[in-house]
């Protein structure tokens, strides 16, 4: 099948493109410089030219704290831009696969959120991603997939695990919050899952994230343990961190659907990430 991937140079877009190519699909991979999803006419033209069977939208505003100061700009990308992609896909009869976030939830749950849980984002980033969900469902009402995921890390972009590895090499101790819980997700696993969603022509809202859940401190401890880095991880609180954007305290994702891809446990995703980073470093 022919797939169009937006945001193809980003951390997730890179892995989606690679997964689609490995699966033998005809891939049209468009970076942000090649296609600005906030330009409706350009998105429509790109879809008409490529004539894909499915469009996987990986283009997004991902700066959570930046969105708090510039919510309008974040919403233009994550909300209106996603709507442009959906409408363009619908106009040629293509499925649109939209990547969304655990931040659409308030974080007050005691167990993983299922797809049917009410949304109530705490901050601007979550509101912009929810706006995108609504825009996609409106722009492509009959054929859309909204895939919520969580705490992404991958080889081809800045991420928490990479930051911990850098800090662990520089310091004997770091402080990491232990009062935020989610599902760490390796984009090397999520990328193929998004291709699988397109292949299976799955529709509706679905949760696809690393199996299990943990705190940011747990992830840091596991990172150092798996990487063989000697660095103590002091527990901190969200209040002590004092970041501009509010974060959900518990945003782990679960699924009620039996047809969606299931990712390996987050610990396996971490191991795969560290192996990929090591392989890339060795190839230089």
Is 219 within the bounds of a domain?
A: no
Predicted model pTM: 0.96
Do strands 2-6 and 173-177 pair parallel, antiparallel, or not at all (unpaired)?
unpaired
HSE (CB half, 13 Å, CA atoms) of 192? 13
DSSP string, 109-122: -SSPBPTTSPP--S
pLDDT recorded at residue 284: 62
Q: Is residue 275 part of a domain?
A: no
What is the per-residue pLDDT for 279?
79
pLDDT digits (tens, 9 = 90+) for 186-204: 999 999 999 999 999 999 9
pLDDT in tens, 3-42: 999 999 999 999 999 999 999 999 999 999 999 999 999 9
Contacts for 198 with CB less than 8 Å, ≥ 6 apart: 1, 3, 53, 54, 56, 95, 97, 145
pLDDT at 282 over 70: no
Within-domain flag for 222: no
Q: Give the model's confidence band at 283: pLDDT under 50 very low, under 70 low, under 90 confident, else very high.
A: low
Can 125 be counted among the known catalytic residues?
yes
Q: pLDDT grade, residue 165 (50/70/90)?
A: very high
Q: Residue 211 gets which letter from DSSP?
A: B
Which residue in this structure is represented by tokens 């002590």?
240
pLDDT at 84: 98
Asked whether residue 120 is domain-assigned, the answer is yes
Six-digit token pair at 199? Answer: 């292949």
Please report how the helices 266-283 and 187-200 are oriented relative to each other, as an axis angle in degrees rounded to 10: 110
Whether residue 18 is contained in a domain is answered as yes
Mean pLDDT for 100-120 is 97
Asked, for residue 90, whether it belongs to a domain, the answer is yes
Q: Are 59 and 106 in contact (CB under 8 A)?
A: no
212-242 pLDDT tens trace: 999 999 999 999 999 999 999 999 999 888 7
Task: Please say whether the beta carbons of 107 and 247 come within 8 A.
Answer: yes
Q: Within a domain: residue 234?
A: no
Number of domains in the chain: 1
In a domain, 133, yes or no: yes
How far apart are alpha carbons 269 and 263 in whole angstroms?
A: 9
**Of 103, 113, 125, 273, which residue is the catalytic one?**
125
Mean pLDDT of 34-62: 98
Give whole-number Cα distances, 195 to 15, 16, 17, 32, 137, in Å.
10, 7, 9, 20, 19
Q: What is the pLDDT of residues 96-105, one digit of tens each?
A: 999 999 999 9
Confidence band, pLDDT 50/70/90 cuts, at residue 50: very high
CATH code of the domain containing 10? 3.40.50.720
| Residues spanned by the domain of 194 | 2-159+183-212+251-266
């Amino acid at each position: 099948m022919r797939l169009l991937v937006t945001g193809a140079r980003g951390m997730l877009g890179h892995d989606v493109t690679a997964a689609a190519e490995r699966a033998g699909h005809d891939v049209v991979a468009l970076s942000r410089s090649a296609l600005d999803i906030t330009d409706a006419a350009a998105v429509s033209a790109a879809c008409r030219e490529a004539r894909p069977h499915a469009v996987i939208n990986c283009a997004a505003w991902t700066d959570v704290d930046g969105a708090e100061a510039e919510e309008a700009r974040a919403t233009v990308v994550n909300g209106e831009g996603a709507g442009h992609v959906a409408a363009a896909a619908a106009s040629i009869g293509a499925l649109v696969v939209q990547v969304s976030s655990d931040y659409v939830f308030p974080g007050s749950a005691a167990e993983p959120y299922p797809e049917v849980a009410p949304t109530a984002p705490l901050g601007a980033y979550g509101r912009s991603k929810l706006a995108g969900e609504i825009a996609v469902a409106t722009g492509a009402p009959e054929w859309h997939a909204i895939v919520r995921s969580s705490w992404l890390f991958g080889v081809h972009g800045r991420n928490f695990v990479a930051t911990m590895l850098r800090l662990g090499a520089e310091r004997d101790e770091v402080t990491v919050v232990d009062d935020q819980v989610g599902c760490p997700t390796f984009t090397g696993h999520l990328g193929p899952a998004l291709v699988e969603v397109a292949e299976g022509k799955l529709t509706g809202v679905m949760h696809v994230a690393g199996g299990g859940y943990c705190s940011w401190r747990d992830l840091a401890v596991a990172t150092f343990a798996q990487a063989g880095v000697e660095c103590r991880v002091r527990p901190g609180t969200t209040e002590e961190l004092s970041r501009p954007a509010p974060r959900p305290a518990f945003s782990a994702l679960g699924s009620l659907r039996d047809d969606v891809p299931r990712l390996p446990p987050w610990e396996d995703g971490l191991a795969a990430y560290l192996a990929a980073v090591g392989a890339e470093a060795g190839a230089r």
